[in-house]
Amino acid sequence: MERIERISEEIKREISDIIQNELKDPRLSKLISITEVNVTKDLRYAKVYVSVMGSKEEKANSLEGLKSAAGFIRREIGRRVQLRYTPEIHFELDNSIERGAYITKLINETSAQNKGSKDPEDT
């Protein structure tokens, strides 16, 4: 199990580098983050979770661009990471970072409201 986790992390690092430095697709947003990579035990498939900051249209375009570049990314992974099999890459949209930012915003707004409306009994 530990080996699969190491391979997943290595693939995550390499895909991030490829997206930032190698891909020139105009559909790709500049704010793409690889949040997680899950590789199957047989190393045949890798599910790559990506977070894209932006509108729904930007997210859809970025995901489409990544899916169309999956063959190139897989080839690059095969060149950079020495494995018997290079996993087939599937991209999935991950909204966890955006959801976290939204929750933080709500907490900050609530705390600002609470500071502004202190009870006279509290002082």
* Residue 97 confidence (pLDDT) above 80: no
What's the pLDDT band for 63 if we cut at 50, 70, 90? very high
Q: What is the DSSP string of 58-122?
A: HHHHHHHHHHHTHHHHHHHHHHHS--SSPPEEEEEE--HHHHHHHHHHHHHHHHHHHHHT--GGG
Number of C-beta neighbours around residue 31 at 10 A: 12
Fold of 2-117: GMP Synthetase; Chain A, domain 3 (3.30.300)
What percent of the chain has a predicted confidence (pLDDT) above 70?
93
Q: Tell me what pLDDT residue 13 has.
A: 96
Q: Which residue has the higher pLDDT, 42 or 102?
A: 42
* Residue 117 confidence (pLDDT) above 70: no
Which sequence spans correspond to the domains of the chain? 2-117
